Every structure is written in structure tokens, then in C-alpha cells.
Amino acid sequence: MQEEEHIIFEKYLSGDLNGSELEAFEQRLGSDVEFKNEFTLYRDMQGYLEDKIRHADALKNIRSVSSERRVSIEKGTKEKAKQKPRWFYYVSTAATVLILCGILSYFIKPEKAVTYADVYMEPEWPIKRSGDGNKFLRGAAIQTIEENYGGAVNVLKNSDLDVDERDYWIAEVFAKQGEADSVLYYLPNTFKTNERRDRQNYLKVIVLYKLNRQEELNKFISTVPENTRKEYLSIIKSLSPN
């Protein structure tokens, strides 16, 4: 019944109902409240899908920036709780600045402009504010936020996720630490969605870059599809020598 209704709704929305069919449809819309509600819901579902496609990138950006903000707020709250006296900060900041100046003046290599930290972007953990979602992923996300990376990897290793999903998130935890070799080790070769494909390709590019494996990097970049998400594609292209 619902399937038949959906076919008629689709025809109506795409302007394929004519003459008596159209008349009967509109008459029913005016007299049958339940039918009208079903139609309104169907129309909204189609509108939702259009919005989802049209605003996919923008929504992803809002969610990813917001999740970064949330992480930094959580971090800030924790740090506040274990605050040290003010003089401690003055002394330690001064000491750090002095040490850094010394190290920088000795090691600074102006020819290498882009670093791993410049191109690394946080992943969007699939956890919801409501607490829904996979409990292991949630646990791993929290451990990562708290910078307990070993803990995060352990949680993932003991999780009920399928092997590729588990390895992918382990690779993300290592990517956050800049452990390039481990990222390459765990990064799966398969993906279920284009979104995941783009993220995996991006991670592979930045770790190959970090490891300075130029030849492999160039070869891999040439295989990256053009329809890759634009933030990733711009970074990938910026690391390409061509």
C-alpha cells in the first residue's frame, strides 16, 4: 500500500500526473487527512535528501569545527581543575621560550615550509551528544581527547567493531600522534563509503609525506580521485610536487 502511494507521490512531485489522475489525486489530498499527512511526510523526506546532498560539505564543516571546539572546551575544563600557581606558569613559560629559541636557532630549516601538524585535520568521531553510538568508539574518543592514546588503542582492539572499522580508528589514533609508520600499518585498503575513502587517502598522503617517501607519495597522489572532498583534495594537491 505504502509503495503504491509513494509511486503516486513521486509522479505528482515530478509533474507526471495528468488529467483525471491529477484531479483525483488533488481531490483526495483535500478530503483525506491521513493521505495528506502521508504525502507531506513523503515530500519532506525528499526535501531532506535534497538538503543533505546540497549541504553535505557545509554540514560536515559545522560539525567538525564544533566538535573541535567541544574537545578544546573539555580539555580546558580539565586543565583548570588541576591548575598550578601563577608563578609556576611565568617561570615555566620563560624557560620554555628560552629553550625553544635555542633549539630553533640551531635546527631551523627554512626550506621545509609545510609540516605534518600544518596539514593534519582532526577526524569526526561518530559519537553523539545523546550518548548513542558504539560504546567502544565513544570510549576511544574520550581516551584520545584525554591524550591517553595507548588506552584508546586498547579500547579499539577489544571492541566489537569489524576488523576494517577497528583498524581504521586505530590508524586515526596514531595519526593524531603523528605515528606515521603505525598509521600505514593499520590503515585498511578497503572502504564502504566515498567519505571514508577520502579520509583514508588523505591520511595515507600526509603520513607518506611525513616519512618523506617521495616516490611512493607521488605515485599514490596520482591515483587519488578528482571527486575527493575538497578540503582533503587541496591538501593532497599542495603536497604534490607536480
Partner 1 sequence: MSDQELFTGLKSGDRKSVNQLYTQFFPSVKRWISSNSGNEADACDVFQDCLETILLKVDTLDHNLGGLIMLICKRKWIDKVRKKTRTTKVINEESLRKVDENVEEQITKYEEEYLRHQILDEAFGKLSGLCQNLLALIKQGKTTGEIQGELSFSTANTIYRRKSACMERWTEYVKQDPRYSSIY
- The verdict on 105 binding partner 1 (CB under 8 A) reads no
Q: Which is nearer to partner 1, 67 or 182 (by Cβ)? A: 67
- The verdict on 53 binding partner 1 (CB under 8 A) reads yes
Q: Which is nearer to partner 1, 68 or 181 (by Cβ)? A: 68
Alpha helices in the chain (DSSP H): 2-13, 19-31, 33-54, 56-81, 86-107, 116-119, 135-145, 149-157, 163-177, 180-186, 194-210, 214-221, 230-238
Q: Which is nearer to partner 1, 26 or 44 (by Cβ)? A: 44
Q: What is the C-alpha separation between 27 and 166, in angstroms, rounded?
A: 54
Residue 174 buriedness (CB in 10 A; 0-12 / 13-18 / 19+): buried
Residue from 28, 219, 230, 237 binding partner 1 (CB under 8 A): 230
Q: What is the C-alpha separation between 80 and 121, in angstroms, rounded?
A: 25
User: Other C-beta atoms within 10 Å of 187: how many?
Assistant: 21
> Which x/- pattern, by CB under 8 A, does the window 174-203 give for partner 1?
------------------xx----------
The piece of 2-10, 153-161, 177-185, 207-215 that touches partner 1 (CB under 8 A) is 2-10
Q: Which residues bind partner 1 (CB under 8 A)?
A: 2-3, 6, 37, 40-42, 44-46, 48-53, 55-66, 69-70, 73-74, 77, 129, 192-193, 230-231
